[in-house]
Structures are given as structure tokens and as C-alpha cells.
């Protein structure tokens, strides 16, 4: 199986490559940012393994690239790896159809389980990390947010002003302002609510 690996951690990328090659797969490329991922995937690629968060934006760039590639190559198997549970990302991936997987990176250390996930996704199946499933089944007000709005709220929780968020996510200040307004609306924080930014951040931190 010809596999493209997208992971900006050099050590993890090397580990993934060794595991896959030892299992008899052909890792045709390893890339470190979402732009490279878009360029190297070809008609001969059988499966993509990608991190959610990657350069250049360090947001959901890896996932966005994978979904864009799948829009061009319908049904291309994609296994997404994430450092943390993010049910919004998982939902978006699952909504794109079959032959997808979402695993926490800690599962990669369980080589047998990881390789089984690779085979399942390659065969057109769907696999989701048990911890992610548990989170998806718990209703949360944050589930109302899109992945991009979640990125904005995360940056807000880290003390970033709108201009800093725009730079980090490679979007305009106006786009960030729109995302922030959507966040307030979806978290039921009306204009008369005192210090909506702080309230939104506290809501985010309460679940992370």
C-alpha cells in the first residue's frame, strides 16, 4: 500500500514511517505542512496519514488539507491523528464519508492496533478512537462551534488578541471578528452579557 505521512514532528514522522515500512507498506512521502500534503498526494496514493494540527496555520490545517484532497479524490482513505480529543474535528471527518479514521496519537504506540486501523480505513471502513467516541456522546455547548471557531476560542483562551489570532491562523482580522461574534452567539452570550470574551474563555477552559 502506498502511503503519504503528514506530521510536523520529525520524531513521530520517523516512527510512523518505520512502523508502516516494517509492515510491508510503501511510504511514498513524508511532509511537514498542509501545503506539501496537498502537493504530494497523487492518483497512485492509496492512503493518507495526517496530523490535525500542522503548519502553516497550526490550526486544523492537516484535516482541512485531507478533506480538500478527498473532495478531489472521493473515497481516498484518510487516517487522522490528533494529540487531544476534538469531537468537532472527528464529526467533520466522519461526515466526509467512509474510509476514514480518527485516532489519538497515543494509540500509535500500540503498533498492532495502529496497523489494524490502517487496514480498516484502507478497506473502506471507519475507525474512531474510543476516547473520541465518549466525548462525542457527551453533549457540550462547545459542540456547536465549527473547528475554525474552536481554533479561535482556543487562541483566545491562550491570551491572544484578535490580531494575533489572525496572524496565527493566516486569516484576516475581519474573519476573526466574525468568528468571535459567532462564538458569542453559539455560546448564548448576548451583547448585554458582561465581558463576553472572558465568559467564552471560561466555558472553553471548563471542558479542557
CATH number at residue 177: 1.10.10.10
The mean pLDDT of 146-155, rounded to a whole number, is 91
Based on the domain organization, do 165 and 111 belong to the same domain?
no
Average pLDDT over the chain, rounded to an integer: 87
Residues 84 and 184 in one domain: no
146 in the same domain as 124: no
Task: Kindly report the backbone phi and psi dihedral angles of residue 189, in degrees, each rounded to the nearest multiple of 5, phi listed first.
Answer: -115, 90
18 and 74 in a single domain? The answer is yes
Co-location of 148 and 106 in the same domain = no
* Contact in structure between 12 and 3 (CB atoms under 8 Å): no
pLDDT(194) > 70? no
How many C-beta atoms lie closer than 10 Å to residue 182's C-beta? Answer: 16
What is the per-residue pLDDT for 170? 93
Does residue 99 share a domain with residue 183? Answer: no
Q: How confident is the model at residue 79 (pLDDT cuts 50, 70, 90)?
A: very high
Q: Is the preceding omega at residue 56 within 30 degrees of 0, hence cis?
A: yes
Per-residue pLDDT at 193: 65
pLDDT of residue 139: 66
Same domain for 85 and 11: yes
Domain hosting residue 22, numbered range: 2-137
Cα(30)–Cα(109) distance, rounded to whole angstroms?
19
pLDDT the model gives residue 88 = 64
8 A C-beta contact, residue 142 and residue 203 = yes
- The domain total for the chain is 2
Which of the listed residues 137, 167, 195 is the one where a domain comes to its end?
Answer: 137
pLDDT-based confidence at 136, cuts 50/70/90? low
Which domain CATH number covers 104? 3.40.50.2300
pLDDT at position 125 is: 86
Q: Are residues 34 and 120 in the same domain?
A: yes
Q: Are residues 40 and 97 in the same domain?
A: yes
pLDDT at 53: 86
Domain end (from 112, 137, 162): 137
Of residues 171 and 190, more confidence is placed in 171
Q: What is the mean pLDDT of residues 166-181?
A: 94
CA angle 192/197/138 to nearest 5° reads: 100
Is-contact 197 156, C-beta < 8 A?
Answer: yes
Percent share of the chain, pLDDT over 70: 90
Residue-level pLDDT at 23? 96
| pTM of the full structure | 0.66
The predicted structure's pLDDT at residue 186 = 92
- Least confident span in 79-83, 104-108, 134-138: 134-138
Same domain, 63 and 108: yes
Tens digit of each residue's pLDDT (9 = 90 or more) over 16-69: 999 999 999 999 999 999 999 999 999 999 999 999 888 888 778 888 898 899
Please give the Cα distance from 170 to 79 (Å, whole number).
25
- Residue ending a domain, among 137, 154, 171, is 137
* Residue 1 confidence (pLDDT) above 70: yes
Report pLDDT for 108.
82
pLDDT of residue 208: 65
Q: Please, what's the b/e burial string for 107-128 (b: 16 or more CB within 10 A of its CB; e: otherwise)?
A: bbeeeeebbebbebbbeeeebb
Instruction: Indicate whether 169 and 101 sit together in one domain.
Output: no
Contact between residue 47 and residue 118 where contact means Cβ atoms under 8 Å apart: yes
Residues 12 and 94 in one domain: yes
Amino acid at each position: 500500500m502506498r502511503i503519504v505521512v503528514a506530521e510536523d514532528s520529525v520524531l513521530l514522522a520517523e516512527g510512523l514511517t518505520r512502523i508502516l515500512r516494517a509492515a510491508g507498506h510503501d511510504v511514498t512521502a513524508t511532509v511537514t505542512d498542509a501545503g506539501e500534503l496537498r502537493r504530494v498526494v497523487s492518483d497512485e496514493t492509496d492512503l493518507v496519514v495526517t496530523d490535525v494540527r500542522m503548519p502553516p496555520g497550526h490550526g486544523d490545517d492537516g484535516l482541512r488539507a485531507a478533506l480538500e484532497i478527498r473532495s478531489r479524490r472521493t473515497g481516498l482513505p484518510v487516517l487522522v491523528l490528533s494529540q487531544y480529543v476534538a469531537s468537532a474535528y472527528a464529526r467533520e471527518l466522519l461526515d466526509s464519508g467512509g474510509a476514514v479514521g480518527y485516532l489519538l496519537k497515543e494509540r500509535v504506540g500500540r503498533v498492532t492496533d495502529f496497523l489494524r486501523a490502517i487496514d480498516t480505513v484502507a478497506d473502506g471502513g471507519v475507525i474512531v478512537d474510543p476516547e473520541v467516541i465518549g466525548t462525542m456522546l457527551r453533549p457540550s455547548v462547545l459542540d456547536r462551534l465549527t473547528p475554525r471557531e474552536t481554533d479561535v476560542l482556543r487562541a483566545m483562551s491562550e491570551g491572544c488578541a484578535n490580531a494575533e489570532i489572525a496572524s496565527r491562523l493566516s486569516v484576516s482580522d475581519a474573519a476573526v471578528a466574525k468568528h468571535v461574534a459567532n462564538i458569542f452567539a453559539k455560546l448564548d452570550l448576548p451583547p448585554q452579557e458582561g465581558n463576553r470574551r472572558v465568559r467564552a474563555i471560561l466555558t472553553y477552559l471548563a471542558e479542557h
